[in-house]
Amino acid sequence: MTQAQKAHDFANLHVAGDPLVLYNIWDAGSAKVVADAGAKAVATGSWSVAAAQGYSDGQAIPLAQLLQIASRIAATVDVPVTIDFEGGYAEAPDEVAANVVQLIGTGAIGINFEDQVVGGSGLHATEFQCERIAAVRRASEAEGVPLFINARTDLFLKEKDRSKHPDLMAEAKERAAAYAAAGASGFFVPGLVDSDLIGAICAAATMPVNVMMMGGAPSVSELAAIGVGRISHGPGPYIEAMTALGERSRALGGLAPE
């Protein structure tokens, strides 16, 4: 199957009411386990990929190393591979596009692309983020791959007080519409867990909506019922796996938990 066909197939897996569920992986080994278990696609989480290599999140892992990991994942599994590309490892649209071309070269068919200022504070202005998205879309089209650009807004993740999330809805809807017009394929709202608010985003967005499973989030069936098209698990799978590894190691060594 060609890379372009994988990209088309991946996009078609996003169905409102019957969401694509992604149990996020962090390397070729975890990708193979998840794919062999029957996953229709695999997706990295930036936090997990970084932690597995001893780095913190926020583009601390070098781009060259991330590209190598992406290449090994894509070479190891036959299913579509989407990579959490954070802020694209650059700010200027043309530089982000050049980095995405490198990522497409690994065999990846999708990215998460966030609007927070990595290494800074706040979010990029909507207009500027749209310029970045549009540059990525042009670059992917030039490469002949209909890249799935999962446009992530960090509005809700950055606001820890969930009682204030309703106040962010107008901006979130505006960003969803603008990102779609710029060429995004999906809209990712990590940190948003309120069922009514998620449903309102789904009703307003013209793209599949991605929700991240975390404490307080609705169940998969509830998310499906309100129109979510994609569900991901973020760093959860890595944390669970490493916790189990530590517990097993302590048991074998007769060590007490710290």
Which letter, b or e, does each residue of 152-190 get, where b requires 16 or more Cβ atoms within 10 Å of its Cβ? bbbbbbeeeeeeebeebbeebbebbbbbbebbbbbbbbb
pLDDT of residue 253: 77
Element holding 212 (H helix, E strand): strand 209-212
In terms of Cβ atoms closer than 10 Å to its own Cβ (0-12, 13-18, 19+), residue 212 is buried
Element holding 48 (H helix, E strand): helix 46-52
| Number of residues in the chain | 258
Structure token digits, residue 153: 């807004």
Cα(160)–Cα(163) distance, integer angstroms: 9
pTM of the full predicted structure? 0.95
pLDDT of residue 98: 98
Task: Please state the φ and ψ torsions of residue 230, each to the nearest 5 degrees.
Answer: -155, 135
3-253 architecture in CATH? Answer: Alpha-Beta Barrel (3.20)
Who contacts 3 (Cβ-Cβ below 8 Å, separation ≥6)? 104, 107, 109, 145
Cα(217)–Cα(71) distance, integer angstroms: 32
Q: List the pLDDT tens digit at each of the 258 positions of the chain.
A: 899 999 999 999 999 999 999 999 999 999 999 999 999 999 999 999 999 999 999 999 999 999 999 999 999 999 999 999 999 999 999 999 999 999 999 999 999 999 999 999 999 999 999 999 999 999 999 999 999 999 999 999 999 999 999 999 999 999 999 999 999 999 999 999 999 999 999 999 999 999 999 999 999 999 999 999 999 999 999 999 999 999 999 998 766 555
Radius of gyration of the chain (CA): 18
pLDDT of residue 196: 98
Alpha helices of 146-194 — where are they, by DSSP H? Answer: 155-158, 169-182
Structure token digits, residue 126: 């909507």
pLDDT of residue 255: 61
